[in-house]
Structure 1
Amino acid sequence: MKVIKLGGSLLEQPEALSALFQSLKQSDDEIVLVHGGGALVQQWLATAGLHSEKVNGLRVSPEPHMPYIVGGLAGAANKTLMKQAIAAGLKPIGLTLYEAGVLCAKQSESLGQVGVCQASEAVSGLISDLLAQGYLPIISSIGFSDSGDWFNVNADDAAVAVAAAYNADLLFITDVDAVLDGSGTPLSHLNSESIQELTRAGVIKDGMEVKVRGALSAAKRLRRCVRIGSWNVMNNPFSGTQISE
């Protein structure tokens, strides 16, 4: 099984999404998608006149904001992906982390309903059944506790939790083909040491630094390599950048 985490920016790139889903249609792998959608959530909150702030990259999610966050992620973002998947001839089904067997808990009172994923003792038979029937599970980063509390979960953390639960490979699909060195050449492999060196030199910075550090954290938690790249990594397992400890 492969778990693919889709970068939120791809929701605004229908051509890239179309290409991704076409490549998924041709793949023989069992695929599970996990996604966020921060830009869409921000738009919904602003339209509702609600002020939203982030702390260390996490969107503070007070309970009154949650209907908009859930609606944006599990609703509009999820169904946008389903729309593209259906157009490509796939059989998508939209889910939350709960249906995937991943339970969540509150990270801290100061962040409101921001959730962290808890270790799964048993995987959900639902995902296996859906894959066996040819469905493509598309999981939003909305989670629930065993008592029914809902949470806004960081999409990278959600993807790692799903991959860990099913002992699956993890791919971070984003809007770049690979991590680049100082001369603009794609890097095939990075580890903790080289990431630190390139970050210190200012080669890896801003949004790419966030992506790379997220992938490195995932590689450490999963104890296996994680790949960052565009939708092309589905067709070419040697494309993109491989991240290891």
Structure 2
Amino acid sequence: MKTWIIKVGGAVLNSADAAKALFDVLASEQDNFVIVHGGGALVDAWLQDAGFVTAKHQGLRISPNEQMPYIVGALAGCANKQLMSQAISAGHKPVGLSLYEAGVLVSEKLKVLAQVGQCSGSCDSVLPSLLEQGRLPLVSSIGFGEDGQWYNVNADEAAAAIAKELDAELIFMTDVEAVLDANKQPLHQLNTQQIETLILEGVIQGGMEVKVKTSLLAAQHLRRGVYISSWLKPENLVALLKGEHVGTKITP
């Protein structure tokens, strides 16, 4: 039985029944699944309502300490429990977790990013025992360091770290069909050299640059291809689980 790490963007929560459709697909499969999620749009809304201005650096949200209660509340609280609700309605037995319970330790990424963390180590994970019990782990991208500091972690990086710890297959479900070229056409496969060229040319940038770089690192660590595909079409996930080539395959 395979274990799959499926990263879903927070945008899934903004689309009626999108999460439910994905969970329905998983309910018909026999493999083990771990869902890792972000929630950027929800965080933006919460911070704006609280009167904060959101800033980014190299595609990552700057997360000052005074904003962290809102970021943690949006991601580990609201977004996680919204997904739990959809998972339960699809017949799953979900468990909401942070990266710490999932066995990933986090440390500061860059001082300029404040409480943004990077996955830097491992600790005891409850994931294997939960999967043995037939539970569906839903992991938010909130992490903790050995000293108990909390961090906002890029959800793509979080998913890659968990996949490495479990030696699992990894799929990034995003809001585009695939990584696109300069003419907005889908790229079916990308390797290290092609990725470096497209980033230098400015074709891949912002959030997609972070996603592609993270996918490449994950592919290198896992020594297998990692897929980027769209959550807008649940049939894409069905095809990927069957071993078909859908979206963009990132190879070392």
Same fold (TM over 0.5): yes
Q: Secondary structure at the match of 1:97?
A: coil
How many corresponding residue pairs?
243
Q: Secondary structure at the match of 1:28?
A: coil
Structure 1 unpaired stretches of 5+: none
1:113 aligns with 2:84: no
Instruction: Supply the AA of the counterpart residue of 2:145.
Output: S
> Which residue matches 1:58?
60
* Equivalent residue for 1:232, pick from 231, 235, 246: 235
Identity, in percent, stands at 52
Q: Secondary structure at the match of 1:152?
A: strand
Q: Secondary structure at the match of 2:239?
A: coil
CA contact (8 A) 1:3 1:171 kept: yes
Structure 2 distance, partners of 1:206, 1:55, is 9
> Which residue matches 1:151?
151
> Which residue matches 1:13?
15
* Equivalent residue for 2:41, pick from 35, 39, 52: 39
Residues 192-242 of structure 1: per-residue CA shift (max 9 Å, x gap): 233345556776566544433332232224332101112434311212221
> Which residue matches 2:248?
241
The 5 A counterparts of 1:187-226 are 187-197=187-197, 208-226=208-226
> Which residue matches 1:4?
6
Structure 2 distance, partners of 1:77, 1:92, is 14
CA contact (8 A) 1:27 1:234 kept: no
The 5 A counterparts of 1:18-33 are 18-33=20-35
**Root-mean-square deviation (Å):** 2.2
Instruction: Supply the AA of the counterpart residue of 1:50.
Output: F
Structure 2 distance, partners of 1:196, 1:146, is 34
Q: Secondary structure at the match of 2:104?
A: coil
> Which residue matches 1:166?
166
Residues 52-79 of structure 1: per-residue CA shift (max 9 Å, x gap): 2111122221221111010000011111
Please give the TM-score of this superposition, normalised by the length of structure 2.
0.87
CA contact (8 A) 2:80 2:138 kept: yes
Please give the TM-score of this superposition, normalised by the length of structure 1.
0.89
Structure 1 distance, partners of 2:35, 2:182, is 32
